[in-house]
Amino acid sequence: MEIDIMEVRGAGDGAASGEYVRPLTKRYSWAEVRQAVHDLRKELSCLSTMVPIAISFRKLGNGKTRIYFLRNPQNGWEITLLYTDVTPSQQTNNSRLDWKPLIESNVALGVTSGKWSREEQLLWERQRVAAWGIASYELHPSSGRIMFPCASSLFVADEGISQSPPLVPRSLNTGGGAPLTPAMCPRAPELVAHAARGDIWLAGGQLRRPTRLTYACRGHEPDSISGYRLADDPRQAGVPCYVTQEEFSRYTGFWWQPKADDDVFRIVYEEVDESEVKIFSFPSSQSSSGEVEEFRFPRAGTPNAKSSLKMVTFRLQKTAPTTVLDYYQEGAAEHSGEVTNGCMEVTDIRWYELRHPLKDSFPWFEYLARVGWTPDGNYVWAQLLDRRQQRLELVLLPLSQFSAPAGYTHAPHYMQAGGYEAQVEQPTQDIQVLISETAPDAWINVHDILHFLPRAGHEMSFIWASEESGHLHLYLVTCAIHTKNVHSRSVIDMITDDESVAVGPNIISKEPITAGEWEVMARKIWVDLPRQLVYFVALRETPLERHLYAAPLCPPRPHAVLLLTTVGHSCAVDIDDDCTMAVITSSNISSVPVTRVYRIASPPRLLVQGTITDRPPSESLETRSFNGSWDSRSGDGDDTDSETGILVRERSLSISEIPPPQILETRLSCGLTAYCTLWRCARAGRSPTVLHVYGGPEVQTVTNSYKGIRQLRMHMLAARGFNVVAVDSRGSKHRGRAWEAAIKGKLGQIELDDQVEVLQWLAKETGCIDMERVAIHGWSYGGYLSLLGLATRPNVFRVCVAGAPVTCWRLYDTAYTERYMGAPARAPHAYTRASVLAHAPFFPDQEGRLLIIHGLADENVHFCHTAALTAELVRLGKPHRVQVYPGERHSLRAMHAAKHYEATLLHFLHENL
C-alpha cells in the first residue's frame, strides 16, 4: 500500500498557478510491482468460482434425468463435459449431487497441443469464449449421442445400453480444415454438418468419406503460380460475415430441416458475397512469424457483405466399402455394427435458391439477422434488418419458394445444375411478412425470442418479443397464412408501395404476455403447452437482478406474472423441454454462485432436488484459460454466465477475507436513476480512485451478482490502495429504449456526463474518494471514453489508461457505428464531435498522464486507431506512452501478456496517481 508523504512547495518550487501537485508517495520499482501482481493472483485465487454452463437434459429409461454441463473437473484446469443424474421427487431435497466426467479423462483431445486454427481463434473472439478445452457441445437427447469440436477436430460419443460414462469419443474424418459451428441432423444424428474452408461439409461415422456440400469458396490451397489471395475468394457458404458475428451475435450460417416426409435431407444456408468489402492486413497473431493476416472489414459508410439464402438437398445411399483402408478412415473398424450395415454415400446433391431473391422481395434489407425453420419443417423464417437498423421484418419463406436451381462454377462437372426435380408439388405459396417493426427515433435490438406454437389450419401462432412499449416484452401473435399461388400472378402484381415482392402482415391478434417498465431477457423462453405457461428470465424486481418468472398463455394477462426465484440474488436459468426440471445458478454481489436442480411443480413453484457443488480447492493449478483484458461487450455483467479463470493456488485468501464491492444508486440531474459499484480500498480517508469505465451500449456492468475472476483487476487495484468505481450510464443495457437511445448521435457525450456526475456524488456521499487523484481506465469502448475523459475533463481525471480504444468512428465497422451514429455521409458533424482525434489538441501537456495499450493483431478495434492518435499527439508535441502487445488480438489471451498488462497498469498508477 502507498504511504503518502507531505510535500510543501514554495513559490519558487516551479509549480504553476493551479497546477496539480502530486503528494509524494512511496515509489515502487518495476520488479516490485511485477512481484505484487504474481502474489495477488495467488491471494485472489478464491475468486475463481466455477459454475456449470451449457446445460442439457436427457430422460433416462430408469426414470432419472441426466443433466449434462461444461465445467472443469476436480483437480483439473481443462473445461470438459460432466454429468449428474437426478431422480425427480415430490419432496424437497437439498443434498449434494455428485457429478462425474462424461468423457474418459485419459483420451487425448489435442487440447494441450495448441492446435487451434486461426478460424477457431477468430470465432472465439466473436463469441467472447473464455474457455480452455471443450468450449461447446451438442446433445441428441433421444439417441444419447454427444458431439463436440475441440482443437480443430470433431468428436462424437454415444451413450447406450452397452456404453455408459465415462465415454471414449472418436474423431470424425471431417475432410480437413477446422470444423466450425458443427450441428447434428435432427432426423439422423450420425450426420454432422459443419463449416470449413468457406463451405459446408458433411461428416459421419457411417459415411464413406466426408462430403463437401457447397462450392462457394474456390479453396484455401495456394495457387501454383500466384499463391492464394483473399481477394480471389469473396464468397463463402455457411459462415456469417464479420459484422453478423460481431454485432448481431449470429455465428452459424446453416440450418438443418427438423422434419420431413420424404428421404431428402435439406439444409438452408447463407451464402455471403464480400467482393465489395475492403481487405485490411494486420500483423499475424503468431507474433514471431513476421507474416501478415488479411481480413475483410467494412468500415462505417462503406459496402457491406451481401447475404442470400439458399438450400442444399441430398440423399443417402448404402454402399459397401471397397478396401480395408475405408474402414479405418471412417472409424468403422471399431464399430462392428457400422461395418455390418455397410457405408453410406451422399448422392443427388442439389442446390436451390429462392424464386425471388430476398433483395428483390425486400430491397431495403441489409442484414440477415436471424434464420431458422418452423418446427414442422415446412417453412424457413428470417429476421431482416435495414442498414439503419430502424426497420425489422420477420418473414416466412415456404419450402416451395426454394425452387430455382442454383449451381457453382467450381463444383465437379457431374454435380452441375441439370435434371433438378421440384422441391414440392405446386401450388407455390407466397413469401409472407409476419411481423413488421420500426424504431425511427432509436434502433432495433435484435433478439432470440421466437417460439412457434402447433399450427391450426391456415393460422400460425407464435411468441414474439418486441420493444414497441419502450421495454422488451413478450407477445402472443396469431397470423393468417396465405396459400395463393405465386406463379398465378405476375411479379408486378405483388409489388407493394415499397417495392416488396411479398405478402404483408395479416395479424389476427397480438396479445401482450408481459408488460411494465422492466425488461424480459432477450435470449430464451420455455413453453409448457400442457399447462399453457411460458417461463422466462426478466428484470421485473430490479434492473440489477435476473429472476425466473412464469406467465399464462391464456387470459388473464399480462398481470398474472409469477416470480419463482428469490429476491436478493441474480439467477442464470436452464429448463428442460418438458418444463419439469430447472437448473438455476444464483448469487449476489457478496455471495458465491450456488447451482441447484429444481423440479417445477404445478401450480408453478420450484422444489429443490439437489445442489451441484463447486469443486473443492485444489493445489497448484496453473492458469491456462482466458486471462484477458477488461474488453468485450459481454462486459463485467451477467451476459456471460461462465467463470472460466483458474489461478495458481499456492496461498489463497478465503472469500471472507476479500471485501465485497458495494452497489449504490443515485438520481441523475436528468431525473433518472443510475447505479454504480464501489470497490473500496482498506486505507482510511480519501484515497486515489480509478473510474473503471465501459459506458457503451449493449453492456450492463452493475448487477447484483457474483462476478469473481472477471473482476480480478478491480480487487487487485483495491488491494494496492486504489478505490475502484464502475457506473452504468445512459446508453447501457437493460433499462429500456429511452435510456439506451439517449446516446444516439452523441457517442462520448451523454455517457461521460453521467459517469462524472455519479463519481462526484459518490465522493461526497462516501468521503473515500480523493477527487484530486482520479484515474479513468477502460478497454474497447471504455478505452474510447477514457481518452475523451482526459481530453475533455483534464481537471477531473489526473491520468488515463486506455486499452484498445476507438479513436475515430469512421475506422470502425458499419453495423455497430451506424446503429448509433448513422452513416458518416448523413452525420459528418456528429462523427467529428465523437472523434478522439478532433480532441487531440486538448490532451494535457504534462508527462505521466496518458497511457495507451493495444494488441498489434487486434482485428476488431484495429491498431490503426492507436496509430492515428499517436501520430496526432506526436505532431502536437503531446506527451504520452504506448504499450503494444504483439500477437494479441482485442482480448489479451496469453498469460504472460495479461500479467505484463496488470503490472504496467499498476506501475503507471503508482508512479502518476
- Give the 3-state secondary structure of 489-510: CCHHHHECCCCCECECCCEEEE
Q: Helix (H, G, I), strand (E, B), or coil: what is residue 125? A: helix
Q: How far apart are CA 151 and CA 112, in angstroms?
A: 9
In the set 447, 473, 854, 890, the catalytic residue is: 890
Rounded Cα gap, residues 701 and 711, in angstroms = 10
Q: Any residues with CB less than 8 A from the CB of 6 and at least 6 apart, and which? A: 23, 24
- Nearest Cα residue to 277 out of 250, 311, 253, 301: 301
The answer to whether the beta carbons of residues 608 and 94 sit under 8 Å apart is yes
Q: Is 37:625 a contact under the CB 8 Å cutoff?
A: no
The whole-angstrom separation of Cα 60 and Cα 58 is 6
β-pair type (799-803, 850-855): parallel
| Cα–Cα distance measured from residue 418 to residue 415, given in angstroms and rounded to the nearest whole number | 8
Are the C-beta atoms of residues 462 and 539 closer than 8 Å to each other? no
Reported as half-sphere exposure (CB side, CA atoms, 13 A), residue 686 has a value of 12
Residue 419, pLDDT score: 53
Helices 781-792 and 750-766 sit at what angle, rounded to 10 degrees?
70
The question of whether 890 is a catalytic residue gets the answer yes
Q: In the sheet that 769-779 helps form, which strands lie side by side, from edge to edge? A: 662-667, 673-679, 723-728, 687-692, 769-779, 799-803, 850-855, 881-885
Q: Give the number of other Cβ atoms within 10 Å of residue 60's Cβ.
A: 13
The separation between CA 793 and the C-alpha centre of its own chain, rounded to angstroms, equals: 33
Sign of CA dihedral 332, 333, 334, 338: positive
Taking CA 362 as the corner, what is the angle to CA 359 and CA 367, rounded to the nearest 5 degrees?
70
The reported pLDDT for the residue numbered 893 is 87
Q: What is the biggest distance separating any 2 CA atoms in the chain, rounded to whole angstroms?
A: 97
- Picking from 585, 491, 486, the residue whose alpha carbon sits closest to that of residue 537 is 585
β-bridge partners, 882:
852
> How big is the CA angle at 177 (ends 171 and 181), to the nearest 5 degrees?
75
The dihedrals phi and psi of 435, each to the nearest 5 degrees, come to -135, 140
Residues 298, 843, 633, CA angle at the centre, nearest 5°?
Answer: 40
d(CA 710, CA 779): 14
SS3 692: strand
687 and 571 Cβ atoms separated by less than 8 Å: no
Q: How far is CA 232 from CA 200, 219, 229, in A?
A: 19, 10, 5
Q: Which amino acid is at 55?
A: I
- C-alpha span between 360 and 374 (Å, rounded): 23
Quick one: which of 199, 222, 223, 221 has its CA closest to 210? Answer: 199
DSSP-derived 3-state class of residue 380: strand
Query: H helices of 100-220, where?
Result: 118-127
Active site residue 326: no
Which member of 625, 780, 786, 835 is catalytic? 780
Is residue 536 within 8 A of residue 525, CB to CB? The reply is: yes
C-alpha cell at 75: 483437480
Strands (E), 529-661: 533-538, 547-552, 562-563, 570-575, 581-588, 591-601, 605-612
| Alpha carbons 577 and 526: distance in angstroms, whole number | 7
- Residues 198 and 203: their CA atoms lie apart, in Å, by 16
Torsion on CA atoms 58, 63, 67, 72, rounded to nearest 10: -130
- Tell me if residue 360 falls in helix, strand or coil: helix
The whole-angstrom separation of Cα 41 and Cα 56 is: 33
Q: Specify the pLDDT at position 133.
A: 82
Nearest to residue 585, comparing CAs of 573, 577, 600, 569? 573
**Beta strand 265-273 with 254-256: parallel, antiparallel or unpaired?**
antiparallel
Q: How far apart are CA 823 and CA 814, in angstroms?
A: 8
Q: What is the mean pLDDT of each run of 10 residues along the chain (913 residues)?
A: 35 40 74 93 80 94 93 71 90 86 77 69 84 88 94 90 85 90 96 96 90 88 54 94 98 98 97 97 77 94 98 91 46 35 82 95 98 98 99 97 89 67 64 97 98 94 98 97 58 41 89 97 97 98 98 83 97 97 96 94 92 53 37 46 32 68 97 98 94 96 92 94 98 97 97 98 98 98 99 98 99 98 97 98 98 96 98 98 95 92 97 96
Which residue ranges does the chain devote to CATH 3.40.50.1820? 21-43+619-912
Q: Are 299 and 319 in contact (CB under 8 A)?
A: no
The CATH class of the 21-43+619-912 domain is alpha beta
| C-beta separation of 365 from 431 below 8 A | no
Q: Do the beta carbons of residue 691 and residue 777 sit within 8 Å?
A: yes
The pLDDT value given to residue 263: 94
Cell of 556: 388473464
The question of whether 786 is a catalytic residue gets the answer no
Q: Taking a C-beta distance cutoff of 8 angstroms, is the pair 304, 366 a contact?
A: yes
